[in-house]
Structure 1
């Protein structure tokens, strides 16, 4: 419905949108934001409380004759808008995402004449900056006094500002004990105060367990470990971190272990106001240390009025098994720490055979090793499946366990329908569990249902923007939508320029599109991000001397060198041979992988490097044997 000239200002919360000057303001101060996000906001404010479809936004904002990656453009605009409003997709206060449909503005809205705010000059009214300022938490005020207003009007404005400032100070200090409700939390990595870096694993493990317990014992939306861990040791202000993670509150603290004594101190901070909400300390010993995160999670849930009505009783965990599991988790998330992780996960289940988390860790170790191409499937498939089944039997309410069983079923049996049911079960247990959507995207890509795979990865990205930064770009890669993939990867690298997974995906996207110079540079950047400057220099030198084929030959030689020391998947060899159009070597490597039931074979049809063997009966026999729908 068109807005009349007398209703050109729309207010919601502390914000207002002036439809005449296209300015977004907070408490009278202008927020610098580019034009497209403001236009998206205007469309949502036209129909508050109603769903505005993505297609409707496309028709209004992107003319039919405009060539643009609409999904990428709209997602980026909505994210910029949420950043400006301090909002989040996971716990929205203003803009609610309706997955695969559109968006809905959910906050109360009022319209009316502008009160006590500035009148934009001609330049401001006709120009909205193209790019937002780098620090979105800094709000730039460009208001001017109305020179033609009377003293009475000026006095009224001053009075309103003073009242507003007093109310904000009152809220900041929490004098009446009231503040904005907390619906979402991030648990920042706890500081290790033991004075011994060998205890870092313990502090990280207690952080993980507190995160897990909060997810179980409260209705709060809890940010994933992957997203929060990037702020380990960060010195940024908590409001900035809360805004970046899209949460209302932040839990921070420390843990100290001395001998068999453990002391944990925590505090809960309201993100937007940096207000102290709650703080407490917990003491225990090595026999009951596992109960400390549970006790703290219950206290936080009660303080935020988010405690679940019914909670399962906490299971007994052998202290030694618990410590072994924490060490395994630490190495699992460390670079090149998989083998040490296996040792500790194995120790955990040996000490306590009914420890579901330990079995889950083992299953993840085997699955991750095979997907990395560094674990022989003949040694990994059976134990991965057994560990996943054991984890589900011991704790069927554990979403991660169902994802592990999904992976083992798909990798070992190639039964994608049964594997997908495990993903769906994980989503039923936790609809905001991003890893489940991420795994479904993998499955759909393998069976050539690429649009569905992309849709699932978009949901995963919406739920956990920092969880799988390379996920959507990889889905575009598998769907052979290289331009979209390149744009998405570049966008992700703006905030995480040294993410090796994203850089490796970008290298593959460039290579598939025929942009070989860029592919070589992305591969060099990948090695640099992993701390391997020798290989980075080798890639650059190979390209300078012989172009991209020389890079492929160097990678092939490097794989052969690695295989002298450890297992290397035949699929990794096959890909390099395929890029060199070496038919016999390519087919022989693929057949070797098929004999071992190598999971990496599941996605070979998605890579154009293999197109030259699609007509070969040996290749077709492999695809048929895996039960995959042919893409040739």
Structure 2
């Protein structure tokens, strides 16, 4: 077997390493070490793995292993500082990360640049984070001139996905090399080094356009999401933007779920920082007190493995917001301080990650009671990624706290439009209920609150705004029954607590207090 990378050929049959036309001198143990790393390039190789494979399990000092590793790097033009081809992952092991072409050939065959390989296939290792390629969409219209519309949509989707720092997204130029080919998902996955592939089609009929998309996990060849989007061809660029937002917004939660399930199936001993982060997300989405405790534990493990993992810090800070929203806070001052410490570190590590900024917007607005800061962070997140539903969500809540109710509804509507089947829709629905309540639209508030409770019955925020809306709508008996139910799960609820809430407008605070008095909340 011959492995080709950069200007090197690693020939395992002849046990030779070639650079251009010359042979590179390499010690036997160094050759064996490099051979093992290349053959196992799709995973992290531990120190024990190398010792067992190269030294047959004999006792080898760290210094001897480091010497051989440095020799392997030197032989292929790499270094411990650059780590372009052989990467060291602290406390985990080593991994060959360079792109490789694999070729079969007779043991004595000459290797030169003037003789083409017989269809060598690139075999790329999967990145440490979820990886995706967006293939050119098929133009199913009768008009070949609509090809530009299909291509433009794909380019916009690639650009939108690329804004997420948690995704590894193949560039447009690589994806479009498959344009017009019969799609073999497994082959594309191998050649581009991605786990997920998004494919789709565009059909234009008269003044209407239909876009379909499907997301495939190439490792299992299973569809994890499929949907279609329709629009009127009035303004083609506006339609393209809306369809692109729709595809990204609908697909992203499904991609996250698939990654969470994958992390849950991995054995504990092989977990990395990102896997712990995903497991924390799974625990967060249980919406239970125990889940929030486990989520925080998983987040701290992720941070311990990768102290520069900004979004893990931000998500950890956000867990305290969940605890506050569901009435699970045990030591308010201590948990508020820990939340602040985590969110400040997150923003310090990465001020340009829209997901970090979106989490931070929630923490500052709700947990820390600083909606002015939260609003500014949310606005920056939206500027960086207009298709990030979470940024729209927490921008909406910041506007609720600041008293800008119509602006809040606009952001909540955008969040729901971007992620219409999101399992967490009860959060923007509750926010819309608050905005309608403060604007005096009590029936609309009741409708939103009812929808939120149907999705998440134990969410105190939705329960409280339902009770408040019933009271102000004159349905006092129902409001009192709602109050009795809330006090059973939250016996510490008091009207005086409204004063420490993030609501900035005095009339909003007074209206909420009036509603709670009518409903029977203790003073």
TM-score, normalised to structure 1's length?
0.38
TM-score, normalised to structure 2's length?
0.45
